[in-house]
């Protein structure tokens, strides 16, 4: 009897250790609030089926700033249970819950409608991102210096393919997290962007160079502990590691989710693994927290805005790029964080009239203080 009880206890402990511990909140159409996930339809997309989902952390309070995770979903692929739709995303929820972040899942768009395979129109998809990241930061308290891009499968490729598509969108992010697949590794036949392989890899390396020393976490499902990873081989063979701070999280998903296949997780190629407790999940949470703390590859610009008579100008916008901005305090002081190195334009504008008051071109190679402006 004692042996039987011991066996049953071990079986119970194993089931408990690998059981699902988190459930993604159901998306509703209610007003956003702490701990909830809601559907947001931008005004210019009403009636089109285009929307994004928005989750507020449980400690959410108005007028505070929070890290912001932007997620892109995988393609619609029935064997894995992936629908390709915004409402069914899972990857970013556990991260947002654990680190106290806002989590948004963005759509891919073509001709004003959502698509569930590949990118749709890159231009429309990217414009949606740039517009709504700024809106989330201004309206809901996302921190423009702590915006991450993450994704699973198609979304993992999107982390670089879309996230580093050009200098404007590449400027947005503090960090990059991808799970299963990676830009430039495999040829995607039947597409104009991912084939032939030699040309695809050439453009992927151009995108990779836009990382400019920022943190990049590559998570991959591998066959067994210590087995080779094509993504890691690709990066090492092409000596891409000098362009970014790359971390790897390589593990067999069935070590985390024991009962695959199941109705909930039909395939090891899944974005649901972070809903289960594991050391691999803890590694991800730690990576996000350390990235937020150290902010590698990004810098700040600070100064003050005054009139010609020396009077401080409070409550005025100072910007550098579509999503990086600050509002001056009562002393006219500002600080814009999260800026990548290179030539930048610092703009002082009137938020009410959306007019540029004064600007300056600067070169950033480190934190800059004393970038002051005197308004005409």
Kindly report, residue by residue over 106-154, the tens digit of the pLDDT.
Answer: 999 999 999 999 999 999 999 999 999 999 999 999 999 999 999 999 9
233: Cβ–Cβ under 8 A, 6 or more apart, which residues? Answer: none
Give me the CATH number covering residue 247. Answer: 3.40.50.1820
Pair 307, 208 in one domain = no
How many residues belong to the chain? Answer: 376
**Dist. CA 196–CA 109, nearest whole Å:** 24
For tokens 């995108």, name the residue.
Answer: 207
pLDDT at 71 over 80: yes
Beta bridge partners of 176: 149, 216
Pair 107, 214 in one domain = yes
Pair 236, 371 in one domain = no
**Dist. CA 27–CA 38, nearest whole Å:** 5
β-bridge pairing 102-105 and 108-110:
unpaired
Q: Does 11 fall in a domain?
A: no
Tokens (6 digits) for 39: 């559907």
**Dist. CA 110–CA 119, nearest whole Å:** 8
Domain count, the chain: 2
Pair 164, 111 in one domain = yes
Give me the CATH number covering residue 348. Answer: 2.60.40.1120
pLDDT at 18 over 80: no
Pair 61, 196 in one domain = yes
**Dist. CA 207–CA 158, nearest whole Å:** 11
What proportion of the chain, given as a percentage, has pLDDT over 70? 95
Q: Does 269 fall in a domain?
A: yes
Pair 259, 309 in one domain = no
Pair 82, 198 in one domain = yes
Which residue among 249, 271, 294 closes a domain? 294
**Dist. CA 312–CA 318, nearest whole Å:** 14
Full domain range(s) for residue 317:
299-375
Tokens (6 digits) for 301: 């610009």
pLDDT at 11 over 50: no
Name which residue leads in pLDDT, 2 or 76. 76
Q: Does 3 fall in a domain?
A: no
Which residue among 269, 294, 319 closes a domain? 294
> Which whole number is the average pLDDT over 333-337?
97
Pair 80, 197 in one domain = yes
Residue-wise pLDDT tens digits, 292-313: 999 999 999 999 999 999 999 9
Which residue among 294, 314, 334 closes a domain? 294
Residue-wise pLDDT tens digits, 20-40: 789 999 999 999 999 999 999
Pair 263, 280 in one domain = yes
Question: Is-cis flag, bond preceding 196, omega within 30?
Answer: yes
Pair 312, 278 in one domain = no
């Amino acid at each position: 009897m004692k042996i039987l009880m011991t066996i049953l206890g071990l079986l119970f402990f194993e089931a408990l250790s690998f059981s699902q511990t988190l459930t993604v909140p159901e998306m509703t159409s209610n007003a956003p609030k702490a701990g909830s996930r809601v559907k947001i339809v931008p005004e210019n997309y009403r009636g089109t089926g285009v929307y994004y989902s928005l989750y507020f952390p449980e400690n959410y309070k108005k007028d505070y700033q929070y890290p912001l995770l932007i997620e892109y979903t995988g393609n619609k692929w029935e064997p894995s249970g992936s629908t390709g739709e915004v409402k069914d995303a899972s990857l970013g929820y556990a991260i947002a819950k654990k680190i106290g972040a806002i989590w948004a899942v963005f759509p891919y768009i073509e001709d004003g409608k959502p698509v569930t395979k590949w990118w749709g129109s890159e231009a429309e998809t990217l414009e949606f991102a740039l517009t709504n990241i700024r809106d989330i930061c201004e309206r809901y308290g996302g921190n423009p210096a702590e915006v991450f891009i993450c994704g699973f499968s198609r979304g993992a490729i999107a982390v670089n393919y879309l996230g580093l598509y050009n200098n404007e969108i590449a400027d947005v992010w503090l960090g990059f997290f991808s799970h299963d697949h990676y830009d430039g590794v495999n040829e995607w036949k039947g597409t104009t962007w991912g084939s032939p392989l030699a040309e695809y890899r050439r453009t992927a390396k151009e995108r990779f160079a836009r990382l400019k020393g920022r943190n990049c976490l590559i998570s991959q499902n591998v066959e067994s502990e210590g087995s080779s990873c094509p993504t890691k081989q690709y990066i090492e063979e092409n000596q891409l590691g000098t362009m970014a701070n790359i971390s790897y999280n390589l593990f067999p998903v069935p070590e985390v989710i024991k009962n695959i296949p199941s109705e909930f997780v039909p395939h090891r190629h899944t974005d649901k693994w972070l809903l289960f407790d594991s050391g691999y999940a803890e590694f991800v949470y730690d990576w996000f927290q350390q990235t937020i703390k150290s902010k590698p590859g990004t810098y700040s610009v600070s100064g003050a805005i005054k009139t010609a008579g020396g009077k401080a100008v409070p409550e005025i916008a100072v910007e550098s790029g579509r999503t990086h901005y600050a509002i001056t305090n009562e002393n006219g002081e500002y600080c814009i964080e999260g800026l990548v190195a290179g030539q930048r334009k610092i703009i002082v504008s009137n938020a009410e009239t959306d007019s540029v008051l004064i600007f300056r071109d600067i070169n950033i190679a480190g934190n800059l203080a004393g970038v002051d402006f005197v308004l005409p």
